[in-house]
Structure formats: C-alpha cells, structure tokens
Amino acid sequence: MIDLSTLKVPGPTVIALTKPFWDAAAEGRLLLQRCTDCAQAVHYPRAICPHCWSEHLIWEEVSGKAVLKSFSVVLKPGHPGWAPAAPYVVGLVTLAEGPTMLSHILGAIPPKVGDALILAPTNIGGRVLPAFRVL
C-alpha cells in the first residue's frame, strides 16, 4: 500500500467560510455547522442554513461515525497525482449527525454499502484530511 502523504495532489481551496473546517481537519477533528434556529447539521460549509435559510450557523465537533451510502473504486484517476494510489475508494458517507459528505474510504476494496465507518484522519499529499475506514 502506498504512503498517501507522498502523493502530489491538489489540496482543498480554503476560504474564510471553510477555514474552520479545514483547520479542524488538519488537527484530526471533524467539524460541521449546526443551525441554531432549526437545529439541523449542515455540510458543506455555507453562510445560510439550507433547511430554514437562517444565518445563525455555529461550528461543532462531531462523532466521526458514519455509514457508507455509495462508493466508487477509482481505477484511472482524473488527476495524475493520484495514479500511484489507484485503485482506491471514494465514497458518499452519511454522518451520524445527518449530512452526507464525499470522502476517501480506507481499507478493503471493495467495501460494502451500509458498512459502518469511523473517521480516520489521513495525511494525503502533505495535508491531514478527513477520510474514513470500515469498522
């Protein structure tokens, strides 16, 4: 298995709105926004709640527990920097708190839809990013 930290891949685009998410990821933590008006968890980071249109969003650390909703085994990456890691799995992860996010899935190929997952912060291309592994 390749050391993902050595990959030459583009990193996330960090802007003021997403900085808390990426700063926490660098520390191995997963943050989501939560609306203080309707109590819904929100991902991806945004300025207004997609559920009730409130501007009252706060950041909170979440459990890192999730379930695999769907996945794809990448055999031929779209970016050449990922070629040494192929095949690898990218999946839609439904977080215990509700939102779904796209993430790298570590471990056995292929996983199974419905697999229980846990956050596994991983150095990918020199940055710690939120990835998940099968429990």
Integer-rounded Cα Rg, in Å, for the chain is 15
Q: What is the pLDDT of residue 108?
A: 79
| Enclosing domain of residue 19 | 12-134
User: By C-alpha distance, which of 62, 51, 127 is closest to 101?
Assistant: 62
Is pLDDT of 121 > 80?
A: yes
Q: How far is the C-alpha of 123 from the C-alpha of 134, rounded, in Å? A: 18
Query: Model confidence at 81, in pLDDT bands (50, 70, 90)?
Result: very high
Q: Is 126 among the domain residues?
A: yes
**What average pLDDT does the chain have?**
96
In sequence order, what are the beta bridge partners of 34? Answer: 41, 58
* Number of domains comprising the chain: 1
Query: Model confidence at 67, in pLDDT bands (50, 70, 90)?
Result: very high
Is pLDDT of 1 > 80?
A: no
Q: Is 2 among the domain residues?
A: no
